[in-house]
Amino acid sequence: MGNNPFFHFLALSLFAERRKHLMVIGLSVVLIFLLASTLFISSSLQHSLRSALVSEPDFVVQRVRGDHLLPVPLDWADEIAQLHGVDRVASRVWGRYYTEPKGKSFLIVGIDFLEDQSHRALSKLAEGTDLRRFLSGEEMIVGQGVARWMRTHFYPHGYNFLTPKGAFVKLKLFKVLPRDSSLVADDMVIVPIETARKILGLSPEEATDVTFNVPNDDEWSNVESKVSAMHYDLRVISKKETRAAYDQIFNYKGGFFLVLFLIVLLAFVLILYQRASQVFSQEKRSIGILRALGWSIRDVLSLKLYETLAVVVSSFILGSVAAYFYVFALGAPLLRQIFLGAGNLASAPRLVPVLDFSVLSSIFLLYGVSFIAAVLLPVWKIAVTDPKEAML
Amino acid sequence: MIARFYAVAAFLLFLLLAAFSHYLLSDRAGMQQRLADTVAVTGLDSPALSVQWFEPRLRRFEASLDPAYPELLPTDRLDFVYGDLYGK
């Protein structure tokens, strides 16, 4: 390649017009960076949530009246457990606790230590700590966001929760969850189930909802209809519906950016096309000179094609790599708030690196093809004219 | 010029290699495992969306109010008939 005169001429031409190329590369890098960042965030969140869904129970049963959640009687769990094909029936206690009305909120989650699976998972999570102290009921495990909020509000070692009955429940800080779990647990406060009941004002015979698994996938719809027929005011939510809901949230936001990108890309291509169609007299002359020197139309088009490819590939690499480090090394400051919100506690989860090659190739095709077409069409129009006319 | 061209190409290649090595060396499995461990404890896998008080925090498990009129309760909530979950 180094001895090829065509390649030498191409390199010369690229550096001779470097100011023009750098401007186009700069604009393209910004466009690709923004789009790739949003799509990286979206695909990383979806990937993490899908893998987290594996640990989620297959079905959730809630008591609903007028689209309003009511506590579920614990008897419901026993009724569901009697159905054939149903496994791991458990009651959950969770709810939002507001530090002040309409203020910041924590998600209180009660853990039942008598349940074997929860106990084992908690032992793993609280490795290296004295779990018996946590089981005493006066300690809590909090997410990163809650720990940050407590520090900034002068509660470095614990917090006093106000129950609906007006009494205070004082809980000491036992452990802060790792940053890797912030995606689901940033605003979470994990406490023993009885403590959670006190804070949320539930009686010992009540829970927020009931969960169960159905190991045989073929029985899902049958069991779902059986459970739905048990009471008039219950709602059964399957894992598949939850997955669809998450996909919808992030695809919607990612898709919204894609539409914005397409509009911006269209404007960019129009500007390029307009600029290239009113090719400067100097460029017209250079194409005319090349043609007069004996270059064929094909040679001229190849030169411009390689020139444009160099610009497109450089912009794509710079934009994508910058987006990769911005999202997966820096955690996508500012942009992540579009996906995760900023209305409650400031959330800063670590995003799992996910390289979705279909996303990358789509960006490259959308950007590259339109860019190359916008540059090559006007060049072809000049190249096919008589060299004398082109040089005028 | 050809030397400069090679230098630019080498720089771009270095950037690509840096991104790939970050991807290969990052503890992706460990990160996902820690996330899965937390979900195994709580049973709640909903993303910790930083939402306003009138928005649902757990999608599919909580209903939202009308964000345009947060003070206005939806007519189907029927709080006045059944009372509130937390006795407010």
A333-343: per-residue pLDDT in tens?
A: 888 888 787 78
Chain A residues in contact with B45 (beta carbon < 8 A) = 49, 52-53, 55-56, 184, 242
pLDDT tens-place string over residues A7-47: 888 888 888 888 888 888 998 899 899 888 988 988 888 88
Spell out the long-range contacts of B18-27 with Cβ–Cβ below 8 A and sequence spacing 24 or more: B18/A321, B19/A320, B19/A321, B19/A324, B19/A325, B22/A324, B22/A325, B22/A328, B22/A329, B22/A353, B23/A324, B23/A328, B23/A353, B23/A355, B26/A328, B26/A353
Residue contact A343–B43, C-beta within 8 A: no
Choose among A62, A122, A347: nearest Cβ to B41.
A122
CA A159, A163, A169, A173 torsion-angle sign: negative
Q: Is B13 helix (H, G, I), strand (E, B) or coil?
A: helix
Question: Which residue of chain A comes nearest to B39, CA vs CA?
Answer: A55
Does residue A319 sit at the B interface (CB-CB below 8 Å)?
Answer: no
Choose among B44, B51, B62: nearest Cβ to A184.
B44
Residue A240: pLDDT over 90: no
A271 is written with which tokens?
């500007």
- At residue B61 the predicted structure's pLDDT band, cuts being 50, 70 and 90, is low
- At residue B46 the predicted structure's pLDDT band, cuts being 50, 70 and 90, is confident
The answer for A 194-233 residues in CB contact with B (under 8 A) is 200-201, 209, 211
Chain B residues in contact with A121 (beta carbon < 8 A) = 37, 40-41
Q: How far is B84 from chain A (nearest CA, A)?
A: 8
Residue contact A321–B16, C-beta within 8 A: yes
**Given phi > 0 = left and psi -120 to 50 = alpha, else beta, which region is A286?**
alpha
- Residue of B31, B59, B66 to mutate when probing chain A, most A C-beta within 10 A: B31
Residue contact A328–B26, C-beta within 8 A: yes
Provide Rg for chain A, Cα atoms. 30
pLDDT score for B69: 55
Residue A190 or A5, more confident: A190
Residue A200 or B58, more confident: A200
Residue A295: pLDDT over 70: yes
ipTM: 0.78
Are A164 and A152 in contact by the 8 Å Cβ rule? The answer is no
Average pLDDT value for residue range A310-320: 94
pLDDT score for B10: 94
- Residue of A55, A113, A162 to mutate when probing chain B, most B C-beta within 10 A: A55
Residue A339, amino acid: F
Residue contact B39–A177, C-beta within 8 A: no
Could you give the count of Cα atoms lying within 13 Å of A153 in the half-sphere of its Cβ? Answer: 13
Q: How far is B72 from chain A (nearest CA, A)?
A: 14
Beta strands A206-207; A72-73: pairing state:
antiparallel
Chain A residues in contact with B61 (beta carbon < 8 A) = 60, 62, 69, 209, 237
Residue contact B47–A340, C-beta within 8 A: yes
Give the count of Cβ contacts less than 8 A between chain A and B. Answer: 219
The answer for A 152-181 residues in CB contact with B (under 8 A) is 164, 177-178, 180-181
Q: Which residues pair with A70 in a beta bridge?
A: A63
Choose among B15, B30, B52: nearest Cβ to A317.
B15
Question: Which residue of chain A comes nearest to B29, CA vs CA?
Answer: A352
Q: For tokens 């060299």, name the residue.
A: A387
Residue B75: pLDDT over 70: no
